[in-house]
């Protein structure tokens, strides 16, 4: 009886909690349709990722697409994979055609690359008018280029598909692919635990930073990539997030958060939106999650997944 009463009280507290105090997060995946990984065929990856998201109760994730990844020689398989994500309730958005670095690309060429991707994406079901900068490079220290891109996106009706949570999963995927290619034994349970732990910690870090920098808990946007690791471990990660009090929401909901209207003016435009907000408010470095320092992440991978001596 007491257990039932306690459960009811906890449920009532959750209902009464203001939205600004809740921990909410949307999942987004870059570089779709991504090339081969360490373990799965690309088709199997999509099938498993869709099933894992469904099993985890994630009704809508966003896939930021590089149409330049679609091979003319694959018989339409890549397009079918993207269509499968949409059929499962997920959405597609613009990640450029060829994934260029803004720092190394003239503004006109960069906007043309966005337009080329947009021409492919706009007619397709599930499309959302969001653009995510490859490498999260919004112009770096070149403020004229940064402002030109902001104006160019606005003229095209595109919103910035910013991120607030980053665990550098691309690096973990790269380390895994390299280890598999080198024939090194990979501790799959340890890899799962490191993947889950890293992303939950990065979300907790972002939640704390947001509360200190903005005075509220905005809906977070997690940066992931369409990788084998996501297909294998995303359900475990979502379960761990929920155990920490997180609610998974749609990307549509996340990009309606008031934080989306902020455009910080900082010395270098690259990284997560929360990093920039904290920087603009004078927060000292580091304003980023510790494992986004690649040397730290690589050492953990070697120690825990490959069991290599330091």
The predicted pLDDT at position 167 comes to: 98
Task: Report pLDDT for 274.
Answer: 99
Q: Say if residue 19's pLDDT is above 70.
A: no
Digit-coded pLDDT (tens) for 83-119: 999 999 999 999 999 999 999 999 999 999 999 999 9
- Flag whether pLDDT at 9 surpasses 50: no
Assess whether pLDDT exceeds 60 at residue 8.
no
Instruction: Inform me whether the pLDDT recorded for 4 exceeds 50.
Output: yes
The reported pTM is 0.93
The confidence score (pLDDT) of residue 16 equals: 45
- Given this model, what pLDDT does residue 15 score? 44
Whether residue 6 has pLDDT greater than 80: no
Residue 10 has pLDDT above 70, yes or no: no
For the stretch 239-279, pLDDT in tens is 999 999 999 999 999 999 999 999 999 999 999 999 999 99
Predicted local confidence at residue 249, as pLDDT: 99
Provide DSSP, the chain.
Answer: -HHHHHHHHHHHHHHHS-GGGSEEEEEEEEEESP---SSS-HHHHHHHHHHHHHHHT----EEEE-GGG--GGGTTHHHHHHHHHHHTT-EEEE--SS---GGGS-HHHHHHHHHHHHHHHTTSTTEEEEE--GGGEEEET-HHHHHHHHHHHHHTTPEE---SEE--HHHHHHHHHHHHHTT----HHHHHHHHHHHHHHHHHHHHHHHHHHHSS-PPEEEEEES-HHHHHHHHHHHHHHHHTTEEE--HHHHTTSGGGG-----SSEES-HHHHHHHHTTPPSP-S-GGGSHHHHHHHHHHHTS----
pLDDT digits (tens, 9 = 90+) for 153-206: 999 999 999 999 999 999 999 999 999 999 999 999 999 999 999 999 999 999
Look at residue 309 in the predicted model and tell me its pLDDT.
84
- Average pLDDT over every residue of 21-43: 97
pLDDT the model gives residue 2 = 47
Which pLDDT value is given to residue 168?
Answer: 98
Q: Higher confidence at residue 75 or residue 281?
A: 281
Would you say residue 3 has pLDDT above 90? no
């Amino acid at each position: 009886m007491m257990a039932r009463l306690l459960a009811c009280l906890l449920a009532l507290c959750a209902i009464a909690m203001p939205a600004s105090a809740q921990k909410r997060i949307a999942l987004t995946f870059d570089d779709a349709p991504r090339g081969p990984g360490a373990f799965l065929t690309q088709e199997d990856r999509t099938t498993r990722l869709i099933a894992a998201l469904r099993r985890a109760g994630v009704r809508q994730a966003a896939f930021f697409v590089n149409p330049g990844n679609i091979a003319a020689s694959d018989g339409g398989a890549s397009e079918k994979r993207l269509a499968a994500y949409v059929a499962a309730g997920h959405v597609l958005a613009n990640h450029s055609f060829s994934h260029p670095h803004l720092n190394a690309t003239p503004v006109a060429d960069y906007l043309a690359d966005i337009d080329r991707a947009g021409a492919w994406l706009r007619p397709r079901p599930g499309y959302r008018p969001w653009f995510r900068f490859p490498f999260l490079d919004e112009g770096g220290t070149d403020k004229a280029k940064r402002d030109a891109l902001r104006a160019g996106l606005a003229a095209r009706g595109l919103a910035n598909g910013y991120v607030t949570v980053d665990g550098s999963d691309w690096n973990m995927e790269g380390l895994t692919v390299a280890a598999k290619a080198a024939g090194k034994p990979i501790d799959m349970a340890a890899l799962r635990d490191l993947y889950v732990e890293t992303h939950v910690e990065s979300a907790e870090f972002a939640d704390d930073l947001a509360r200190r920098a903005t005075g509220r808990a905005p809906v977070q946007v997690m940066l992931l990539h369409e990788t084998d690791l996501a297909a294998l471990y995303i359900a475990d990660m979502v379960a761990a997030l929920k155990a920490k009090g997180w609610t998974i929401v749609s990307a549509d909901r996340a990009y309606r958060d008031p934080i989306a209207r902020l455009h910080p003016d900082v010395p270098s435009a690259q990284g997560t939106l929360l990093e920039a907000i904290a920087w603009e408010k004078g927060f000292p470095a580091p304003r980023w999650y510790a494992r986004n320092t690649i040397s730290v992440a690589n050492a953990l991978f070697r120690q825990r997944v490959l069991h290599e001596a330091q």
